[in-house]
């Protein structure tokens, strides 16, 4: 009997390990890990767009927004098709400073559909918006009734980042617990995977494509969060469009792909800026390459919600040791009601500062209940600047082909309008260039956390996929 029990235990352990390994390494579905060609565009066809939320001396919100104004403009100029992909979409009980983003976007899409009945609209979103199939979203149902193809992304096709839990879930709960069951939504959330993209791409009414790629969701509850985005045009968007259609296809969409024809553009070397679309792990490869090629006299500026991906952190340390200037503006995740308050940024950023001997400089964004949701990376020298932004946080899930992510990378002269907008934005936050009583960022010492226990806990949560970041 003991031998049988041992054999059974070994068999179950092997089944668990095999399931975990397979779903962590299986082939990526179509549309993931895409890198477009580097396509030249006129420098005027790239616009950097920040959303900034701060508070004045009396604690009143001071909000400046532009991302969804640009998004609505792209939707309203479309004549043939619109493709959207957003992690979160929905209304909430509006607070005094909340903007009704979901309603504004829905109204723009439905108005455009009524004016142009042949206009095709495809809306891809994370299934969490409908409880993984357990409940209908009133906002998404309204779009469906208006002729919009709404497609929840099939997260089962993605690799498992939380392999310890997800393998057990696949072998047990998945077989009997439906999304509408007592544990369905909670058990699926613990898998830690999502369609995390945040973008709109559409025809521009003149034979080309236009897109707004950002870190912002059209969710009312997040309407006061700080974010970054960019409006871009150019042939690189053909790759983004193809990626979105591929995601829709593997998620069960059977719509007319021919209606979403790419632009008849090429990547001829002309214009003053170069644009590249990077999704999932393709962004990680491009980012690590750029960081490794930085040299003494160059600068690296990052404004981020999260910084925890190990190789990116090591590349920043190596760059600082080569004499590259490194400045980081991070969200402190200081919500006292959160079980993970301060994770991962406070201990991991503190380790970067200590290990670099102070060569890496950190400031914390002063949040007031909202989040500093930025994803901005800039690497620049005297003449040229390379930046990337979009949905991807600099975490294992964001960069290692687990979530669906989409970023745009732009290389241009430092003197260009887009470069000056981005550099000016970062310097404004870093140096607190604001009206009297407003401070965007705080000194590093305010949230520094040198505790080794917290550092290793953050690394453990990141490495095992048990984290929420």
CATH number at residue 97: 3.30.870.10
User: Confidence band (pLDDT; 50, 70, 90) for 299?
Assistant: very high
Q: Are residues 229 and 177 in the same domain?
A: yes
User: Confidence band (pLDDT; 50, 70, 90) for 455?
Assistant: very high
Strands 273-278 and 39-41: antiparallel
Q: Are residues 72 and 204 in the same domain?
A: yes
Q: How far apart are CA 283 and CA 281, in angstroms?
A: 5
Which domain range does residue 447 map to? Answer: 273-464
Q: Are residues 205 and 314 in the same domain?
A: no
Q: Is the model's pLDDT at 212 over the cut of 50?
A: yes
Q: Is 80 left (phi over 0), alpha (psi -120 to 50) or beta?
A: alpha
Domain assignment present for residue 301? The answer is: yes
User: Confidence band (pLDDT; 50, 70, 90) for 337?
Assistant: very low
Q: Are residues 190 and 292 in the same domain?
A: no
Q: What is the pLDDT of residues 398-412, one digit of tens each?
A: 999 999 999 999 999
Q: What is the pLDDT of residues 160-196, one digit of tens each?
A: 998 888 888 888 877 766 665 656 677 888 888 999 9
Number of structural domains (the chain) is: 2
Domain assignment present for residue 14? The answer is: no
- The dihedral built from the CA positions of residue 416, 419, 424 and 425, taken in this order, carries a sign that is positive
User: Confidence band (pLDDT; 50, 70, 90) for 303?
Assistant: very high
Domain assignment present for residue 328? The answer is: yes
Query: Average of pLDDT values for 285-297?
Result: 97
Q: Are residues 331 and 385 in the same domain?
A: yes
Q: Which two tokens stand for residue 201?
A: 């791409």
- The dihedral built from the CA positions of residue 54, 367, 378 and 84, taken in this order, carries a sign that is negative
Domain assignment present for residue 129? The answer is: yes
Q: Are residues 86 and 195 in the same domain?
A: yes
- The dihedral built from the CA positions of residue 144, 67, 200 and 28, taken in this order, carries a sign that is negative
Q: Are residues 248 and 295 in the same domain?
A: no
Q: Are residues 115 and 238 in the same domain?
A: yes
Q: Which strands, in side-by-side order, build the sheet including 384-390?
A: 39-41, 273-278, 407-413, 384-390, 375-380, 299-304, 325-330, 360-365, 441-442
Query: Which of 232, 259, 286 is where one domain is finished?
Result: 259
Q: DSSP letter at 35? A: B
Q: What is the pLDDT of residues 124-157, one digit of tens each?
A: 999 999 988 888 899 999 999 999 999 999 999 9
Q: How confident is the model at residue 338, as a pLDDT?
A: 46
Domain assignment present for residue 19? The answer is: no
Q: Are residues 351 and 409 in the same domain?
A: yes
Q: Are residues 250 and 285 in the same domain?
A: no
């Amino acid at each position: 009997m003991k031998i049988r029990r041992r054999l059974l235990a070994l068999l179950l352990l092997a089944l668990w390990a095999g399931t975990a390994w397979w779903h962590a390494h299986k082939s990526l579905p179509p549309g993931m890990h895409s890198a477009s060609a580097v396509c030249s565009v006129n420098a005027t066809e790239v616009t950097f767009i920040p959303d900034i939320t701060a508070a004045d001396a009396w604690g009143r919100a001071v909000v400046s927004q532009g991302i969804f104004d640009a998004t609505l403009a792209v939707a309203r100029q479309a004549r043939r098709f619109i493709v959207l992909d957003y992690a979160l979409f929905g209304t909430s009980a509006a607070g005094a400073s909340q903007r009704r983003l979901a309603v504004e976007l829905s109204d723009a899409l439905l108005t455009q559909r009524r004016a142009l009945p042949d206009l095709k609209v495809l809306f891809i979103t994370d299934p969490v918006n409908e409880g993984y199939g357990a409940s209908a979203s009133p906002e998404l149902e309204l779009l469906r009734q208006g002729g919009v193809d709404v497609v929840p992304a099939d997260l089962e096709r993605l690799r498992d980042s939380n392999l310890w839990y997800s393998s057990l879930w696949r072998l047990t709960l998945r077989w009997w617990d439906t999304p509408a069951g007592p544990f369905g939504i909670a058990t699926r959330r613990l898998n830690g995977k999502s369609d995390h993209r945040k973008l709109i791409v559409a025809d521009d009414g003149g034979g080309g494509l236009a897109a707004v790629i950002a870190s912002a969701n059209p969710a009312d509850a997040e309407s006061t969060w700080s974010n970054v985005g960019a409006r871009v045009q150019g042939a690189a968007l053909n790759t983004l469009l193809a990626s979105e259609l591929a995601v829709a296809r593997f998620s069960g969409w059977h719509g007319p792909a021919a209606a979403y024809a790419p632009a008849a553009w090429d990547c001829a070397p002309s214009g003053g800026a170069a644009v590249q679309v990077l999704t999932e792990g393709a962004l990680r490869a491009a980012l690590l390459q750029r960081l490794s090629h930085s040299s003494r006299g160059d600068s690296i500026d990052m404004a981020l919600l999260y910084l925890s991906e190990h190789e990116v952190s090591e590349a920043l340390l190596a760059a600082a040791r080569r004499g590259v200037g490194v400045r980081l503006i991070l969200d402190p995740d200081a919500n006292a009601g959160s079980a993970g308050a301060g994770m991962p940024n406070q201990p991991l950023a503190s380790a970067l500062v200590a290990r670099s001997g102070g060569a890496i400089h950190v400031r914390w964004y002063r949040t007031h209940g909202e989040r500093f949701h930025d994803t901005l990376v800039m690497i620049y020298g005297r003449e040229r600047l390379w930046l990337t932004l979009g949905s991807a946080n600099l975490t294992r899930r964001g960069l290692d082909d687990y979530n669906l992510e989409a970023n745009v990378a732009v290389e241009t002269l430092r003197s260009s309008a887009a470069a000056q907008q981005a550099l000016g934005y970062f310097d404004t936050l870093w140096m607190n260039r604001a009206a009297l009583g407003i401070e965007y960022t705080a000194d590093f010492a305010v949230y520094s956390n040198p505790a080794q226990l917290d550092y290793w806990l953050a690394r453990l949560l990141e490495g095992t996929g048990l984290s929420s970041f």
